[in-house]
Amino acid sequence: MTTTSNHSAPAAEFAGKTALVTGAASGIGLVVARRLAAEGAAVVVADYNEQGAKETAEAITAAGGRAAAVRVDVTDPESVRGAVDLTVETFGGLHLAVNNAGIAGASAPTGEYTVQDWQRVIDTNLNGVFYSLRYELPQILASGGGAVVNMSSILGTNGFAGSAAYSAAKHAVVGLTKTAAVEYAAQGVRVNAVAPGFIDTPLLKGGDDAQRQHLISLHPQGRLGTAEEVAELTLFLLSDRASFVNGSYHLVDGAYAAR
C-alpha cells in the first residue's frame, strides 16, 4: 500500500539568503559556514588562509550547498571591500554576515606588551570588525535588510591576565555592535554579538595539557565549549526567530562569567 502525506518538508531557514563569514577556514567560522549552507544560504567563505577557505567551500558544495571562497585580510579595508563586492557579484546580494576572524595575540603583562603586538591584535580583532561592518552594512541595506553577528568573547566581559589587547578589542566589539544596532534598527538590520568562552578549536592547540586543564577549570560546567554550540547561538541570532533581538551581547560560556 502506498501512503501519501500533505505535509511537505520544512523550508530551509536561510533559503534565498546570502551570507559572508570571515575566519571560516577553521574553528567556529567553519562550522557556522557549513551550518548556514545546510540551512539553504549561499555562503562566501572568507579567510586569510586561502587554501583553507577553498576547502571549506568545496566541502559545502560537495554536500549540496552553494559556496564561494575568497582570501581576505581583515586588517586591510580594501581587501574587506573586495570580499563584500565578490559576495554581491557572485550571489546577487548580501543578507547575513558573521564577523568572526580573529587572533589570540601575544601574552604579556600590560606594562610589557609591545606596541607591535598590541597593534596586530587591535588591527585584526577590532579594526577588522569595523571594516567588515563598514562595507557589509550598505550591501545588506541594498538587499532589503538582514542580520549581522560580531564574534566577541568572554573577554569582552572579563579581564584576563596577559591579554590586554585581546580583551580591549573584544570589549570594543561589544560597543561597536550596540552602536551599529541603534543606527540600523529602523532600516531592517539587526546587529548582535556572541561571546564564546574558551572553545575547543585550533586557536587553543598551542598550549600544553596543564594550560588546557586550567582553562577547563575556569568553566563551572567542567569542560571547554564546542564550535557547534557557538554556531547554534549564532544561527539563531541570524534567523527570523530572533527578530526582536538586536544590539545585544550573548554569552555561550559554560557559566564562566557567572562565577
166 catalytic per annotation: yes
**Cell numbers given for 255:** 557559566
Q: Which of 166, 184, 249, 256 is catalytic?
A: 166
Q: What are the pLDDT digits (tens) for 205-215?
A: 666 788 889 88
Residue 9: inside a domain, yes or no?
A: no
The whole-number pLDDT of residue 259 equals 86
* pTM for the model: 0.93
The predicted structure's pLDDT at residue 245: 98
Contact residues for 170 (Cβ-Cβ < 8 A; gap 6+): 125, 152, 153, 155, 156, 195
Instruction: Give the domain CATH number at 231.
Output: 3.40.50.720
Residue 135 pLDDT = 98
What are the C-alpha distances in Å from 33 to residues 16, 41, 258? 15, 9, 30
Residue 172's domain comprises 18-251
Contact residues for 37 (Cβ-Cβ < 8 A; gap 6+): 43, 60, 63, 65, 66, 67
The pLDDT value recorded for residue 11 is: 66
Residue 6 covered by a domain: no
In a domain, 62, yes or no: yes
Would residue 77 count as lying in a domain? Answer: yes
Position 92 in a domain: yes
Per-residue model confidence (pLDDT) at position 235 = 98
pLDDT below 50 — which residues of the chain? 1-9
Residue 76 lies in a domain: yes
- The count of residues in the chain is 259
**In the prediction, which pLDDT does 4 show?**
32
Domain count along the chain: 1
Domain-located, residue 71: yes
Q: How far apart (Å, rounded) are the C-alpha atoms in residues 133 and 189?
A: 12
* Whole-number pLDDT of residue 2: 30
Instruction: Confirm whether 4 is domain-assigned.
Output: no
